[in-house]
């Protein structure tokens, strides 16, 4: 099981993503979020094929489709953070922190 904590910024809606490999091409996804929009996404995103999530080929990532459907802010980093959590659990990426640093 991999656990990812996403701090998205000024909204303060922390999200925790737990991903568990359940088969060769399946991962279960459990999302807990303070954001009401991400809570709706979490209610439908419970299992994914990690290989579909890492490519724009074919139908593209389910997580990004659901992000567009449920998340009202296009720059929200939570959908991408969910994909990163899936990649790590499936052994398709190394567990490294991701940072977006904004200076003005």
Confidence of residue 23 (pLDDT cuts 50, 70, 90): confident
Q: What is the pTM of this model?
A: 0.94
Kindly list the structural domains of the chain, giving each domain's residue range(s) and its CATH number in brackets, ordered by start.
Answer: 2-89 (3.90.1010)
| pLDDT at residue 24, rounded to an integer | 80
Structure confidence by residue, pLDDT tens digits, 81-100? 999 999 999 999 999 999 99
For the stretch 88-93, contacts whose Cβ atoms lie closer than 8 Å and that sit 24 or more positions apart, written own/partner, are 88/2, 88/4, 88/19, 89/1, 89/2, 89/19, 89/20, 89/21, 89/27, 89/50, 90/19, 90/21, 90/27, 90/50, 90/51, 92/50, 92/51, 92/54
Structure confidence by residue, pLDDT tens digits, 7-20? 999 999 999 999 99
């Amino acid at each position: 099981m991999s656990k990812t904590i996403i701090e998205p910024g000024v909204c303060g809606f922390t999200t925790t993503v737990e991903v568990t490999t359940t088969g060769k091409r399946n991962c279960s996804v459990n999302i807990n979020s303070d954001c009401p929009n991400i809570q709706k996404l979490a209610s439908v995103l419970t299992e994914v094929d990690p290989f579909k999530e890492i490519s724009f080929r074919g139908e593209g990532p389910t997580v990004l489709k659901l992000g567009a459907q449920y998340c009202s802010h296009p720059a929200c980093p939570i959908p991408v953070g969910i994909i990163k959590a899936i990649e790590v659990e499936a052994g398709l990426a190394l567990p490294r922190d991701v940072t977006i640093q904004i200076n003005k």
